[in-house]
Amino acid sequence: MTVLEAIATGNPPLRRSQQYASSFMERVESLPEGLRQRIPKIYARSGIDYRFSCVEDYGREAQDFEFFSPDWSLQPAPTTGARNRKYREAVVPLAERVAREALDQAGLAPEEITHVIGVSCTGFFAPGLDIELVKRLGLRADTQRAMIGFMGCYAAFNALRVAHGFCQSRPDARVLVVCAELCTLHFQVDDSIENAVVNALFSDGAAAAVLAARPPEEVGGRLVYEDNHALLDDDSMDHMSWDIGDKGFLMGLSPRVPAVIARNLPAYLDTLLCRNGLELEDVEFWAIHPGGRAIVEKAQEVLALPDEAVHDSLEVLRLHGNMSSPTILFILKRFLDRHCAELAEGGAGLGPGVAMAFGPGLTLEGCLLRPVSG
């Protein structure tokens, strides 16, 4: 069985309120006045209270800027090369920190890890993040590695699927998954509402998970990765995109995304649950990726879920913003910690749970987790 052993999460040091972020963007002189006037409402409606960034300039006055030009035009914008250099500088220590914490929580020594899976879509370099983790954590030189890139918000599910495959193929598998995204490196200053919304949502963060192959007699009470499902919508390729431009990576985000998700969600869940002998009412916890507050609220409406079922998803959004791929692990950590705490107190822990995310394609990805009675 593939056991979810531990999850650790982390963010860059710079933490600012959403109100502060709004006031920062209102000061950008290269934005049209009409758009600047709309920024407070866009930010206030986001459902976000705080966000994190690796870009120290977001906490400075213009004369002290180092990433941006030192004035409130923010022009000329940093090049893709400059953004990628900052990415490499900031992502490696953040990824290392959450990876070490996950290994400590799982009670595993570095030499016990057999596989490393790195996940990121906000920068590139080689030798890559996977190799940096092997070196910095002191993993064995024969540790098998995989990198999952440019898949966006649902990429953690692809990593979990690969980790599950490793666990099913090797009885000694101990897999470290690390998702690390520095989305705020790629904020764009232009005159579109679409970019204003993107700038209001995204944040920086990282999360690491440890999964292990365990025989059934060792699994009692623990959460196991049971199944997964992917669904590609037939007609929404242009609704969400992520391209490389000369001045950073460029996101396309259509306001029609929540409606497309809602249209596909019932059939998606029917397939995942039915083949595992479950119905909607059997699901005891929901981890829904908060691509935005509207996405979670639309999923809640379509599935007729009570407010408490989406509380953790909205709380992660409120406290951290949308961090792309690590976000779902932030939510799952809340449930994993709750499950372990209940078991430690002699309780039954959580029942079956579904985790889901949505991204370019437009794609729905998710998995089924369940406890094993011991």
Q: Among all residues, which ones are annotated catalytic?
A: 153
The answer to whether 213 and 1 are in contact (CB under 8 A) is yes
The answer to whether 48 and 21 are in contact (CB under 8 A) is no
Residue 163 C-beta-side C-alpha neighbours within 13 Å: 33
Closest Cα partner for 154 from 230, 219, 95, 41? 230
Q: What is the DSSP string of 256-323?
A: THHHHHHHHHHHHHHHHHHTTT--GGG--EEEE--SSHHHHHHHHHHHT--GGGSHHHHHHHHHH-B-
Query: By three-state DSSP, how is residue 164 classified?
Result: helix
Please name every residue paired with 355 in a beta bridge, in sequence order, or none if there are none. 287, 367
Query: By three-state DSSP, how is residue 26 classified?
Result: helix
CA dist 285 and 276 (Å) reads: 16
Please name every residue paired with 224 in a beta bridge, in sequence order, or none if there are none. 3, 370
Length of the chain: 374
Which string of b and e fits 171-208 if b means at least 16 CB within 10 Å? Answer: eebbbbbbbbbbbbbbbbbeeeeebbbbbbbbbbbbbb
The answer to whether 8 and 208 are in contact (CB under 8 A) is yes
The answer to whether 205 and 181 are in contact (CB under 8 A) is yes
The answer to whether 35 and 191 are in contact (CB under 8 A) is yes
Closest Cα partner for 223 from 364, 309, 332, 117? 332
Distances (CA, A) of 230 to 161, 272, 356: 10, 9, 10
